[in-house]
Amino acid sequence: MPEEIADMPHEPALAEQFDDLHQQRFADTLGMWIFLATEVLLFGGIFAGYTVYRMAYPEAFTLASHHLSIPLGTINTAVLLGSSLMVALAVHAAQTGRSKVVGNMLAGALVLGTVFLGIKAVEYTTEWRHHLVPWMEGFNPGGAHPEWQRLYYVFYFIMTGTHAVHMIIGMAVLGVIAVKGWRGAYTAERYVTVEVAGLYWHFVDIVWVFLFPALYLIHVKQ
């Protein structure tokens, strides 16, 4: 492939080790998919542990889950689905060579991500005030089986906490890409960075799609 002319600020879209852009793009996305496979097993392992203990102590887990706010959990699910839509639109903008729109769409996704984290912070603060944090002194969920309820809360904080850490990392990455988007970095030839970051973000969304019914919707109080 011909080198770009000297006064262009970018390096060539095609890296040296690939035969053509199609192969390069394919290798980039396959690499992210393999990483996402390891992430599926990370969260899946925690889910498996949660499933086993939920089946062993169903009443305690049901009681413990009643302290969670279903309205807030639902809003958070909708917020994350919306952010995935914006990221998908950002990828589309990159593919059609509209780099500034990439920045705008990702900024929207970041706003929604911040809303999600804000709501989670409100939930965590409420849980802390109601003595539901299992590692703190005075853990007291009320009702039967406090020790098995403690187990539920360990899973709740670990699962949502790990998810939140993944979200923060994803938001940092999207932030960098948004800034580069506003600076005109993305074209129809150079869009795969946006696509690969998008894959990661959609995965984090999928994790939450499973976390919400698992943690919040166990035999809800009628």
153 CB contacts (<8 Å, ≥6 apart)? Answer: 64, 127, 132, 133, 134, 139, 141
Residue 205 near residue 84, CB atoms below 8 Å:
yes
User: Binding of another protein at residue 13 (CB under 8 A)?
Assistant: no
Stretch of 29-37, 116-124, 133-141, 164-172 contacting another protein, by CB under 8 A: 29-37
Which residue, chain included where needed, has tokens 């360990």? 154
User: Binding of another protein at residue 92 (CB under 8 A)?
Assistant: yes
Interatomic CA distance for residues 122 and 130, integer angstroms: 12
Q: What is the DSSP string of 59-109?
A: HHHHHHHTTS-HHHHHHHHHHHHHHHHHHHHHHHHHHTT-HHHHHHHHHHH
User: Binding of another protein at residue 202 (CB under 8 A)?
Assistant: yes
Q: Residue 179: CA atoms inside 13 Å, Cβ hemisphere, count?
A: 5
Stretch of 1-9, 72-80, 122-130, 171-179 contacting another protein, by CB under 8 A: 72-80
Residue among 84 and 181 whose Cβ is closer to another protein:
84
Interatomic CA distance for residues 129 and 54, integer angstroms: 25
Stretch of 38-46, 127-135, 154-162, 175-183 contacting another protein, by CB under 8 A: 38-46
User: Binding of another protein at residue 12 (CB under 8 A)?
Assistant: no
Stretch of 2-10, 24-32, 121-129, 152-160 contacting another protein, by CB under 8 A: 24-32
User: Binding of another protein at residue 198 (CB under 8 A)?
Assistant: yes
Residue among 153 and 203 whose Cβ is closer to another protein:
203
User: Binding of another protein at residue 195 (CB under 8 A)?
Assistant: yes
9 CB contacts (<8 Å, ≥6 apart)? Answer: none
Binding site for another protein (CB under 8 A): 20-22, 25-26, 29-30, 33-34, 36-37, 40-41, 44-45, 47-48, 51-52, 55-58, 70, 74, 77-78, 81-82, 84-85, 87-89, 92, 95-96, 147-148, 151, 188-189, 191, 195, 198-199, 202-203, 205-206, 209-210, 212-214, 217-220, 222
